[in-house]
A and B are shown apart, each in its own frame.
Chain A
Amino acid sequence: MGLSKFLLYVLQRLFFSITIIIMIMILIFILINVAHGDPAELLAGEAASPQYIETIRKAYGLDKPPLERMIIYIYNLLKGDWGYSITYQAPVIIVILQRLPQTLLLVGVSLIIAIFIGIGVGIISASKPNSLLDMTLNTLILGAYSLPVFWLGLILIMILSLQIPLFPTGGIIDVSVAISGNIIDKILNILWHMVLPIFTLSIIYMATYARVTRSVVMDVMKSNFIKAAIARGVPYKRILYVYALKNALIPVIAVAGAQFGLVVAGAVLTETVYSWPGIGTLLVQAVNYRDYPLVIGVLILVGISVAISNFVADLLMARIDPRIKSRLMG
């Protein structure tokens, strides 16, 4: 009984995530068609020959009526045929997959740091509401929350790599090390290049999670079950770090899952500032060269990651949140 309900929930959320992807694909199709009379020209790129445009037209079924065209287009996208990048002279999906690991490394490490520190700072801030410590932390959190990520990046480069040359100004690895260094040198060199971008991105992400944690913990601390725990003589530290933390985790996961688009936006701008060779710099390049299939490819990739992060967050919440759990298992 409980299991089938859980399965139904999983299927429901899966359906929602797939709907996100399909909706983004439909929007892409509609907007391309609205913007340009002939989408084949757009997909073929600016300096394409008439023959090539014809090939694209045939390949994407662009000579068919709109609805059929849309279905063919989406079917192609789902199949992994995301078109051909003119600037890279390679299929879009391959160009993107080559850049993906670097971005995952940057975003993954930053997110882990940000979630841990963000929750920690939020709880400490909420533990003594309106104390000097709370006010200071809260101001710092709001400050970090208001920082434009690319400006923070510029300032850090200015101070920590130009004024005091501690870190490189950008890139992922020095050319000399990439050619001749051994594996340990390479890893150390990459780590050295990662310090500033990860610091920048972590601060920006952290602010959001700290804000959410603080407001949730403050709410939870007012609730009856905490009062009951205090009355039972449970130590305050245990209440804060076990009871309140457990409750803070749910909205933090919800926010992390639902706001994955913001995570991506931060990553794009950070990569741009530090010339980090990931999806973000790829996108900016594609924009500058008006490489439409590549821009669309990145949008689809991000759409898929948003859908996945939504789905994972939903599953995690179902495991942690007793309210969802009891609804599903009870």
Chain B
Amino acid sequence: MIPELKVDLWGDSLISTLLDKKNLKRIRDPVLLIPLVPFMLTLFFAIFAELISPYPPLKTGVGSVLSPPSLRHLMGTDQVGSDIFSQVIYGSRTALIVSVGTGLIALFIALIIGLVAGYYGGLIDNLLMRFTDLFLSIPAFIFIIFVLVVFGNSLRNLIIVLGLLSWPIMARIVRSQTLSIREREFVVAAKAIGESDKSIIFREILPNIWPSIIPAFLLEMSLAILVESGISFIGLGDPNVASWGKTLAMASRSLYAGAWWGALFPGLMLFLTILSLNMLGDQLEKVLSRSI
């Protein structure tokens, strides 16, 4: 669960909050930067996959079957002789595409629903929030499995359906932020001088809700990576791309042969990336809520 933020930034924009001296000091604190490392590694792998990856990730027989980690295969090979290190690298790209893709779709819907519900209030708010509650109740993982079975298991389909299912929590945050910002002097003033609703929503309110959205966005990203790997683990991943979950599924079938490397490395990468995003989200939330 993402706890609802009680941030009230008095009209500060995100940038000025982050650039505030006290916060900068806190961000420069090296201990706080450690959690960033795994995510940066994922990002680096994802961007430069072609340059780093020693083999095509899905090509079979690039090494001997189930060979343990060595200089030729840093993370060993699986039971069809594919290079696990290359899969880990390309898996980073898949994880990143899925998490950012779903995050953006979810954010877009969350902003529309949350802003409209929070700004107009009353019946519209009530209806939109009931709708949000309903969507929140859809068992996402199982529903995604159903959709992928019916429409075909491609990365595109996964991103779309996961995005369409993951906006409700963010929408609630946007709404509660909008509700409180709506009452503030600068919005009341803007209304008084006759600014249009559209302009108030986009120019007065929207810039002030980013700070509370970013931690939620990071948590959403980590959840999306978790879902993608789970979906790939049960065999519904995109057959044309490498994924940590897929590598782990292969590894689960060769554990009995003592091939620990196939389970250890991709899993560690997956775990650390998610941990990284979650820690980052938690810390950002703390920093932003302390800066009031």
Interface residues of A (CB under 8 A from B): 16, 19-20, 23-24, 27-28, 31-32, 35-36, 42, 142-143, 145-151, 154-155, 157-158, 162, 169, 208, 211-212, 215, 255, 258-262, 264-265, 268-269, 272-273, 283-284, 287-288, 290, 292, 295-296, 298-299, 302-303, 306-307, 310
Of the residues B133, B136, B142, B255, contact of A268 by C-beta under 8 Å: B142
Docked complex Cα distance between A310 and B133 (Å): 11
B149 to A162, Cβ gap below 8 A? no
* Given A145-B278, A150-B248, residue A162 in contact with residue B138 (CB < 8 A): no
Q: A142-B279, A261-B140, A284-B234 are known contacts; what are 16 more A-B pairs with Cβ within 8 Å?
A: A16-B130, A146-B222, A148-B229, A154-B251, A155-B267, A158-B255, A258-B137, A261-B137, A264-B142, A268-B141, A272-B234, A273-B252, A290-B149, A295-B145, A299-B145, A303-B139
Q: Is the interface of B mostly helix, strand, loop or mixed?
A: helix
Q: What per-residue 1/0 map shows which CB atoms of B236-254 lie under 8 Å from chain A?
A: 1000000001001001100
Q: Which residues of A contact B150 (CB under 8 A)?
A: 31-32, 35-36, 42, 292
Top 7 A-B residue pairs of the complex, sorted by shortest distance between their CB atoms = A265-B141, A261-B139, A151-B267, A146-B275, A146-B274, A35-B150, A154-B263
Q: Which residues of A contact B143 (CB under 8 A)?
A: 24, 27, 299
Q: How many residues of B contact A (CB 8 A)?
A: 46
24 contacts between A and B (CB under 8 A): A19-B134, A35-B150, A146-B275, A148-B226, A150-B233, A151-B267, A154-B252, A154-B263, A155-B263, A157-B255, A158-B260, A258-B1, A261-B138, A265-B140, A265-B141, A268-B234, A269-B234, A272-B234, A283-B145, A284-B235, A299-B139, A299-B146, A302-B142, A306-B137
CB of B44 closer than 8 Å to a CB of A: no
Docked complex Cα distance between A19 and B127 (Å): 14
Q: Is the interface of A mostly helix, strand, loop or mixed?
A: helix
* A137 vs chain B, min Cβ distance (A): 14
Nearest-neighbor residue (CB-CB) of A291 within chain B = B149
CB of B270 closer than 8 Å to a CB of A: yes
CB of B54 closer than 8 Å to a CB of A: no
B233 to A299, Cβ gap below 8 A? no
Q: What per-residue 1/0 map shows which CB atoms of B33-62 lie under 8 Å from chain A?
A: 000000000000000000000000000000
Nearest-neighbor residue (CB-CB) of B270 within chain A = A148
Q: Which residues of B contact A162 (CB under 8 A)?
A: 255-256, 258
A265 to B263, Cβ gap below 8 A? no
Of the residues A35, A142, A143, A283, contact of B142 by C-beta under 8 Å: A283
Q: What per-residue 1/0 map shows which CB atoms of B255-292 lie under 8 Å from chain A?
A: 11010100110010011001100110010000000000
Q: Which of A35, A42, A148, A260 has the most CB of B within 10 A?
A: A148
Of the residues B1, B252, B274, B278, contact of A148 by C-beta under 8 Å: B274
Interface residues of B (CB under 8 A from A): 1, 3, 130, 133-134, 136-143, 145-147, 149-151, 222, 226-227, 229-230, 233-236, 245, 248, 251-252, 255-256, 258, 260, 263-264, 267, 270-271, 274-275, 278-279, 282
A211 to B271, Cβ gap below 8 A? no
* Given A20-B137, A148-B267, A148-B274, residue A215 in contact with residue B222 (CB < 8 A): no
* A327 vs chain B, min Cβ distance (A): 17
Nearest-neighbor residue (CB-CB) of B223 within chain A = A262
Docked complex Cα distance between A223 and B264 (Å): 45
Of the residues B3, B227, B263, B275, contact of A151 by C-beta under 8 Å: B263
* Given A28-B146, A212-B1, A296-B146, residue A261 in contact with residue B141 (CB < 8 A): yes
A287 to B267, Cβ gap below 8 A? no
A288 to B235, Cβ gap below 8 A? yes
Q: Which of B130, B138, B256, B282 has the most CB of A within 10 A?
A: B138
* Given A146-B275, A158-B260, residue A302 in contact with residue B139 (CB < 8 A): yes
Docked complex Cα distance between A10 and B260 (Å): 52
Nearest-neighbor residue (CB-CB) of B267 within chain A = A151
B267 to A154, Cβ gap below 8 A? yes
Q: Which residues of B contact A20 (CB under 8 A)?
A: 134, 137-138
* Given A148-B270, A154-B251, residue A259 in contact with residue B142 (CB < 8 A): no
* A138 vs chain B, min Cβ distance (A): 9
Q: Which residues of B contact A292 (CB under 8 A)?
A: 149-150
Q: Which residues of B contact A36 (CB under 8 A)?
A: 150
Of the residues B136, B222, B275, contact of A258 by C-beta under 8 Å: B136
Q: Which residues of A contact B145 (CB under 8 A)?
A: 283, 287, 295, 299
* Given A19-B134, A28-B146, A268-B142, residue A154 in contact with residue B255 (CB < 8 A): yes
B255 to A151, Cβ gap below 8 A? no
